[in-house]
Amino acid sequence: MLDVAEAMPGDRAVLHCEPEGLVESFPLPGGRRRWVVREGAEDLRTAAGLRAAIAQRTGTVLEVDEGAEPASFVAAQHRATRVHRGRVVLVGDAAHEVSPIGGQGMNLGWVDAVRLAAELARALSSRAPDLSGFDRQVRRSAAKAQRRSAFYMSMGAPASAPVVRGRELLMRTLGAAPLRGWTAGLLTMRGL
**Which tens digits make up the pLDDT trace of 128-153?**
788 999 999 999 999 988 888 888 88
Please say whether the beta carbons of 53 and 44 come within 8 A. Answer: yes
- pLDDT score for 137: 93
Instruction: Output the pLDDT for position 155.
Output: 83
Quick one: pLDDT at residue 8?
64
Q: Determine whether 122 is exposed, middle or buried from the number of CB atoms within 10 Å of its CB (0-12, 13-18, 19+).
A: exposed
Q: In the chain, what are the domain boundaries?
A: 2-58, 78-187
What pLDDT was estimated at residue 101?
A: 65
Max Cα-Cα span within the chain: 62
Q: Does the pLDDT value for residue 123 go beyond 90? A: no
Q: What is the pLDDT of residue 45?
A: 86
pLDDT band at 102 (very low <50, low <70, confident <90, very high): low
CA 84 to chain centroid: 25
CB 37 within 8 A of CB 50: yes
Q: What is the pLDDT of residue 162?
A: 93
Strands 23-28 and 88-89: unpaired
Mean pLDDT computed over 21-27: 89
pLDDT at 97 over 80: yes
